[in-house]
Amino acid sequence: MQQIKTALLSFGMSGKVFHAPFIDLHPGFQLVGAWERSTKIIQQIYPQTRSYTTLAEVLSDPSVELVIVNTPTYTHYDFAKQALLAGKHIIVEKAFTTTLKEAEELKELSIKQNKKIGVYQNRRYDSDFKTVQKIIQDSCVGNINEVEIHFDRFKPTLSPKQHKEVPGPGAGILKDLGAHIIDQALCLFGMPQAVFADIRITRELSQVDDDINLLLYYPTFRVRLKAGYLVREALPAFIIHGHQGSFLKSRADVQEACLIAGIKPNSTDWGTEPAEEKGLLHTEKAGKIIREKIPSLQGNYYDYYDVAYKALTGESAMPVTVDDGINVMRIIEAAIKSNQEGNIVKL
C-alpha cells in the first residue's frame, strides 16, 4: 500500500487528539512529524517522527506530501497557501479560512498547483450526527418541516487561548463551533436560499461573539443553528420535526473524551455511545404511531482519513471538499452581514 507521508503544523490538542492517532493507525499514512514551536513532545509519543522548528523546515522536507493545517483559524490562509506553493497536498481545519475570498483563492491555487485540498470537519463522523443523518435519509419523520442543531457548552470564563478571545479575523464562536454546525446543516440539506443571524457577546469580559442563532431558509423548511457558552443544561443537540413525526438526539459522541484520556482508536467498539444516549423517535409507520428509542450508529474519525486516503490516491473526492469549505464561509459571511444589517440575506 502506498504511504502518504504527512506532517502536522501543530502538536497541541488538535494534533495529539484529532489527527495523529488516526494518521498513525491508518496503513496508508506515515506520520513524519510536527511543527513544534516550544514544547517538544511528539517524539515521546511517536518516536519515529521529527520535531520541526519552523514552517520552512516542514515545507522544505521533500518527504512530506501532505500537510495538516491545524493551527489557529487566522493562520489558515497563509500557511495553506505556503504549503500549496511548496507542492504539498493540504487538509485544513475549520473554519477553512477567515473570509470567503481567501477560501476561493486557495481553491484556485490548488488547481494551478495540481494539489488537493480537504477541509477537516470531524463532526460529520460523530455518532450522534451519523444517526441523525440516517434518520433523515430513511425518511423516518416524513418530509422535513423544522430542524434545530445545537452546539452548546457552559464556559462562562474566557479561554486561556488568546486567539479564541482576542478580537481578530479568526476569533469568536461563529468560526469555531458555528463552523461545525453550519457544515452539518449543509451536509444534510445543501445550501439554503437565505440566512438570518443574531450574533451576540454574552459572557462577562468577553470581547468576541460567544452566542449565535442562525436561521437557514430552505424552500419548504427551516434549519436553526444555535451555539453558546452559557448553557448549563443543554437541550437535545438535534431536533428534527417532520410531517409524520419527530426525532430528538443528544450530542453524545465519546471520541473526543476517549482520545483526551489517551485511549487509542483501534478497538471494535470505538465510538460507541452509552446506551442511555439513544435518540427518541416519535413517528408514524404504516399507519401506526410509534414512540421508541433508536440506538446510535458508531462514530469514527478514522473514516475521514480513510476517505481522504482514497482521494489522495485518486479513487474518490475528499471527504469534505474545498467547495464544502467555501460554502461554509459563504454562510458565515452572510450571517455576519445579516447580524450587522438586521436583515435576511439572500444567497
What digits encode the pLDDT tens for the residues 60-99?
A: 999 999 999 999 999 999 999 999 999 999 999 999 999 9
Question: In sequence order, what DSSP letters do the residues of 108-133 get, joined into one string?
Answer: HHHHHHT--EEEE-GGGGSHHHHHHH
- As a 3-state breakdown, the chain gives helix, strand, coil percent values, each rounded to 5, of 35, 25, 40
Average pLDDT, the chain: 97
Q: Which domains does the chain have, with CATH numbers?
A: 4-121+304-317 (3.40.50.720), 123-299+331-346 (3.30.360.10)
The whole-model pTM stands at 0.96
Q: Which of 150-164, 173-187, 216-230 is least confident?
A: 150-164
Give residue 36's pLDDT.
97
List, in sequence order, the alpha helices (H) in 175-227.
177-189
Sign of dihedral through CA atoms 203, 254, 135, 120?
positive
Cα separation values, 43 from 35, 47, 56, 220, 267, Å: 12, 4, 20, 53, 24
Give residue 326's pLDDT.
98
At position 288, the amino acid (one-letter code) is: K
Binned at pLDDT 50, 70 and 90, residue 1 comes out as: confident
Give residue 162's pLDDT.
86
With a pLDDT cut of 90, the percent of the chain lying above it is 97
∠341-241-319 over CA atoms, to 5°? Answer: 75
What digits encode the pLDDT tens for the residues 215-231?
A: 999 999 999 999 999 99
With a pLDDT cut of 70, the percent of the chain lying above it is 100
CA distance 272 to 292: 19
Give residue 121's pLDDT.
98
Residue with cell 452509552: 274
Length of the chain: 347
Give residue 154's pLDDT.
96
